[in-house]
């Protein structure tokens, strides 16, 4: 399925991955509708940072995933839906679990229903590696048990199951993409890599939570490539695919890498406020991307060290967007 001449709806277009995906789709020639969460400031999130020539080609639709009428209206005349809209901050999910259920599960139900009613040609639903919890074996393939260790993870498991059911029951042509940790330009300090970089650039002491957990990181350009490939592959409907690098690195080692690159000689301090509850901490995530390589022909092209250097450059040039003195939930 080629994007040129297609009408594409991206939910969560104001987010980190969503803004990059929207930008790529416009460059590919698609007619893009970007669904962003309404607020009275008319703030479009990261999508507002796109070049003017890209923004001028995007139809911005403001609303809320929990509003079925808003989603139904946005989906009218759409060929492809990329559903990235979600609440994603794990610590925030401890405080307001109901909001996560309403946005991530009911919101996904609304998107799936709109896809069904509008007979879309393809829907790509975004999952997360957090649904696996701490690895029971590595590398983690798509058959790994699901283990909710936070309200966020539980809400995403529920959304994934809804997507699978709509394929099985109603024939909605939905595929589930399950990215492991993505990083790069425009990511907020809610994520660990921007948190580390913004602190290293501005403070002698950097405050982090647990340093031992490992994650599998993919640079944003490679993650966007995977989204495009999932939408284009006619074989990939009704299934799940992991997107990751097959490499793991601990949070502590990332911090030390950034300190070495920047050269500020920072000191790492463990902040108990940032540590997850014991049974909620996901200690290890390492992706098996065999399925993505075999079915999608996808593999990451940007090494972690190269992607980290690119991200440091971007954050250095946009430090005014960060509040390194605060713990960003």
pLDDT digits (tens, 9 = 90+) for 152-201: 999 999 999 999 999 999 999 999 999 999 999 999 999 999 999 999 99
Per-residue pLDDT band for 235 (boundaries 50, 70, 90) equals confident
Residue 149: pLDDT over 50: yes
- Which pLDDT value is given to residue 73? 97
pLDDT digits (tens, 9 = 90+) for 5-57: 799 999 999 999 999 999 999 999 999 999 999 998 999 999 999 999 999 99
Superfamily of domain 7-182+218-243: NAD(P)-binding Rossmann-like Domain (3.40.50.720)
What percent of the chain lies above the pLDDT cut of 90? 95
The domain ranges of the chain are 7-182+218-243, 188-215+247-285+304-321
DSSP secondary structure string, 254-286?
Answer: HHHHHHHHHT---EEEE-GGGSPPTTT---B--
Q: Which of 186, 3, 8 is nearest to 81 (CA)?
A: 8
Per-residue pLDDT band for 4 (boundaries 50, 70, 90) equals low
**Which two three-digit tokens encode residue 40?**
């009275």
DSSP secondary structure string, 32-64?
Answer: EEEEEE--TT---GGGGGS-HHHHTTEEEEEE-
d(CA 147, CA 282): 10
Per-residue pLDDT band for 1 (boundaries 50, 70, 90) equals very low
Please check whether the domain covering 188-215+247-285+304-321 is classified as CATH 3.90.25.10: yes
d(CA 22, CA 188): 17
Per-residue pLDDT band for 328 (boundaries 50, 70, 90) equals confident
Q: Which of 196, 230, 201 is nearest to 215 (CA)?
A: 196
DSSP secondary structure string, 280-320?
Answer: T---B--B--HHIIIII-----S-HHHHHHHHHHHHHHTGG
Q: Which of 88, 28, 39, 90 is nearest to 63 (CA)?
A: 39
């Amino acid at each position: 399925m080629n994007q040129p001449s297609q009408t594409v709806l991206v939910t969560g277009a104001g987010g980190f991955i969503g803004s990059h995906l929207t930008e790529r789709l416009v460059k590919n020639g698609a007619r893009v509708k970007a669904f962003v969460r309404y607020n009275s400031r008319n703030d479009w999130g990261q999508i507002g940072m796109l070049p003017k020539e890209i923004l001028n080609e995007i139809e911005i639709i403001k609303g809320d995933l929990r509003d079925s009428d808003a989603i139904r209206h946005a989906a009218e005349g759409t060929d492809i839906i990329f559903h990235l809209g979600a609440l994603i901050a794990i610590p925030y999910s401890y405080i307001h679990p109901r909001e996560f259920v309403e946005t991530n599960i009911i919101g996904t139900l609304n998107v799936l229903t709109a896809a069904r009613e509008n007979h879309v040609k393809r829907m790509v639903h975004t999952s997360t590696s957090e649904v696996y919890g701490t690895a029971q074996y590595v590398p983690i393939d798509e058959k790994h048990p699901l283990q909710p260790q936070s309200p966020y993870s539980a809400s995403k498991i529920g959304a994934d199951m809804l997507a699978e059911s709509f394929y099985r029951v109603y024939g909605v042509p939905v595929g589930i993409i399950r990215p492991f940790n993505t990083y790069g330009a425009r990511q907020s300090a809610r994520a660990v890599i921007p948190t580390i970089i913004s602190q290293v650039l501005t403070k002698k002491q950097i405050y982090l939570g647990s340093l031992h957990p490992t994650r599998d990181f993919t640079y944003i350009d490679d993650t966007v490539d995977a989204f495009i490939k999932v939408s284009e592959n006619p074989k990939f409907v009704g299934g799940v695919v992991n997107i990751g690098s097959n490499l793991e690195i601990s949070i502590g080692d990332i911090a030390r890498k950034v300190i070495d690159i920047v050269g500020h000689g920072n000191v790492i301090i463990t902040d108990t406020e940032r540590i997850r509850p014991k049974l909620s901490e996901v200690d290890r995530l390492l992706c098996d991307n065999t399925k993505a390589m075999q079915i999608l022909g996808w593999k990451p092209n940007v090494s972690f060290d190269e992607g980290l250097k690119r991200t440091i450059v971007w954050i250095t040039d946009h430090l005014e967007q960060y509040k390194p003195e605060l713990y960003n939930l």
